[in-house]
Amino acid sequence: DQQVKQNSPSLSVQEGRISILNCDYTNSMFDYFLWYKKYPAEGPTFLISISSIKDKNEDGRFTVFLNKSAKHLSLHIVPSQPGDSAVYFCAASAMTSYDKVIFGPGTSLSVIP
Amino acid sequence: DVKVTQSSRYLVKRTGEKVFLECVQDMDHENMFWYRQDPGLGLRLIYFSYDVKMKEKGDIPEGYSVSREKKERFSLILESASTNQTSMYLCASSFGTGEGHTEAFFGQGTRLTVV
């Protein structure tokens, strides 16, 4: 049973518009959430994170929102650029489990010029 | 700049072979991880290590073992390779705060095919 879910396997967005990638989790012990980006034939790279004590974290064009009561987070990319086309993984960890991180299945984002 | 290096980009092995995947990191990280990535399943944790000679099973340890004799090196061993272990294998490392609040740095991945 997946603890971190990304229900949209793929998403297409026009360049310049907003991309919204969603993630749901089931384990209430998770208290830290991360987004990674992965290009083909490369390892994932860290993008942005959020602690459970916050509901929003922003870094340039990337903003992550956390709704703890709904066990839901989302990544917003504004404006989207063709170079953002990649697979995005949502990940979560719990303070009680060392630094073990659980990943979702990923969403493939295509930004169309 | 953090570097996590996996010894091979591509490997082809025969069923029943013993396979070694090597990973080295140069940032003095306490934690090291092995994941496999499969379509629709994301990254699944096989094993992780939070210190030299220490290891913990992840979500899918069956058929795998690991070795961490030195802090910078974490090896994944397929005791007897099977076709269902054909996958992309990713190694990662992170600082060990013990609080689950650190980002992991990944290697470029090893595409293993078992025939």
Cβ neighbours of B18 (radius 10 Å): 10
Q: What percent of chain B has pLDDT over 70?
A: 94
Burial code (b: 16+ CB inside 10 Å, e: under 16) for A24-62 equals bbeeeebbbbbbbbbeeeebbebbbbbebeeeebeeeeb
- Adjacent-strand bridge partners of A63: A58, A76
- Write out the H or E segment, with its range, that includes residue A88: strand A86-93
The long-range contacts involving A50-58, CB below 8 angstroms and separated by at least 24 positions, are A51/B101
Q: Do residue A43 and residue B108 have CB atoms under 8 angstroms apart?
A: yes
Is residue A44 within 8 Å of B106, Cβ to Cβ? yes
Stretch 2-41 of chain A: residues touching chain B, C-beta under 8 Å: 4, 6, 9, 31-32, 34, 36, 41
Instruction: List, as one string, the DSSP characters of chain B.
Output: ---EEES-SEEEE-TT--EEEEEEESS--SEEEEEEEETTTEEEEEEEEEETTEEEE-S--TTEEEEEEETTEEEEEESS--GGG-EEEEEEEE---SSS----EE---EEEEE-
Q: Any chain A CB within 8 A of the CB of B14?
A: no
User: CA-CA distance, B56 to A74, in Å (whole number)?
Assistant: 30
Tens of pLDDT, residues B61-90 = 999 999 999 999 999 999 999 999 999 999
Contacts of B35 in chain A (CB under 8 A): 103
Nearest Cα of chain B lies from the Cα of A102 at a distance, in angstroms, of: 7
| Radius of gyration of the CA atoms of chain A, in A | 13
Output the pLDDT for position A83: 96
User: CA-CA distance, B45 to B60, in Å (whole number)?
Assistant: 6
Q: Do residue B45 and residue A42 have CB atoms under 8 angstroms apart?
A: no
Local confidence band at B94 (pLDDT 50, 70, 90 cut-offs): confident
Nearest Cβ partner for A99 among B4, B100, B107: B100
Output the pLDDT for position A98: 57
Q: Do residue B100 and residue A105 have CB atoms under 8 angstroms apart?
A: no
Contacts of B42 in chain A (CB under 8 A): 4, 6, 89, 103-106
Local confidence band at B99 (pLDDT 50, 70, 90 cut-offs): low
User: CA-CA distance, B76 to B90, in Å (whole number)?
Assistant: 10
Nearest Cα of chain B lies from the Cα of A27 at a distance, in angstroms, of: 14
